[in-house]
């Protein structure tokens, strides 16, 4: 097996890895957006799972607030629709690196930056919105969980790019 053939096989493995991770990432972004739409139903389920105290108290409080604002100000739920839409659009953005990882590495880097920015945003906005620290940490975990696969993808793209030069 020639050195050039080995490099080509390695590049194909890297591209396959990149595409698998990106499909997973795209699906997770889409599903995350989808969860913003049936919020009342989801909160009702969480209230049943956590009936009393701790998280249960928090879910009750959030459910009551959402229900009241749905009754008196239903147009406010439009913000959740836009949240879902933003997730769907961001998921579509990652089709570019799926198709051509080297040329679209900027999308991966954009995603990594967004994942890092989740952490200060969750703490600052969460503080002003009276979000419990435990919930802010859950929000931050999405940034960490998103950053890891994107960092792995970026590393593979750079390897491909270096082997082409």
Phi-psi region of 132 (alpha: psi -120 to 50; beta: other; left: phi over 0): beta
Q: Specify whether 116 is located in the same domain as 57.
A: no
Q: Specify whether 46 is located in the same domain as 123.
A: no
Residue 51 has a pLDDT of 84
Q: Specify whether 8 is located in the same domain as 49.
A: no
What is the tally of structural domains in the chain? 2
| Enclosing domain of residue 101 | 1-34+94-165
Q: Specify whether 30 is located in the same domain as 104.
A: yes
**Which pLDDT tens digits describe the chain residue by residue (165 residues)?**
687 888 889 999 999 999 999 999 999 999 999 999 999 999 999 989 988 777 888 889 999 999 998 999 999 999 999 999 999 999 999 999 999 999 999 999 999 999 999 999 999 999 999 999 999 999 999 999 999 999 999 999 999 999 876
b or e along 89-104 (b: 16 or more beta carbons within 10 Å of the residue's beta carbon)?
ebbeebebbbeebeeb
Q: Specify whether 135 is located in the same domain as 73.
A: no
pTM: 0.90
Residue 79 has a pLDDT of 92
The secondary structure of 75-135 as a DSSP string is GGGHHHHHHHHHHHHHHHHTHHHHH-TTTTHHHHHHHHHHHHHHHHHHHHHHHHTT--HHH
Residue 16 has a pLDDT of 97
Residue closest to 25 by CA, chosen among 79, 96, 80, 85:
96
Residue 3 has a pLDDT of 79
Residue 2 has a pLDDT of 83
Q: Is the dihedral of CA 83, 85, 91, 92 positive or negative?
A: negative
Q: Specify whether 83 is located in the same domain as 115.
A: no
The secondary structure of 38-78 as a DSSP string is SHHHHHHHHHHHS-SSTHHHHHHHHHHHHHHHHHH-GGGGH
Q: Specify whether 98 is located in the same domain as 164.
A: yes
b or e along 109-145 (b: 16 or more beta carbons within 10 Å of the residue's beta carbon)?
ebbbeebeebbeebeeebeeeebeeeebeebbeebee
Q: Specify whether 76 is located in the same domain as 119.
A: no
Helix, strand, or coil here: 2?
A: coil
Select from 46, 61, 87 the last residue of a domain. Answer: 87
């Amino acid at each position: 097996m020639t050195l050039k053939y080995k490099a080509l096989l390695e590049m194909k493995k890297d591209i396959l890895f990149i595409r698998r991770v990106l499909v997973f990432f795209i699906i997770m972004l889409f599903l995350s957006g989808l969860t913003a739409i049936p919020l009342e139903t989801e909160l009702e389920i969480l209230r049943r799972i956590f009936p009393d105290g701790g998280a249960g108290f928090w879910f009750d409080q959030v459910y009551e607030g959402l229900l009241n604002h749905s009754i008196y100000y239903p147009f406010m739920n439009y913000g959740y629709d836009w949240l879902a839409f933003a997730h769907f659009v961001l998921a579509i953005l990652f089709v570019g690196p799926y198709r051509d990882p080297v040329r679209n590495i900027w999308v991966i880097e954009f995603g990594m930056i967004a994942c890092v920015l989740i952490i200060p945003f969750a703490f600052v906005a969460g503080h002003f919105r009276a979000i419990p620290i435990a919930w802010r940490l859950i929000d931050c975990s999405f940034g960490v969980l998103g950053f890891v696969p994107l960092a792995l993808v970026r590393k593979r793209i750079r390897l491909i790019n270096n082997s082409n030069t």
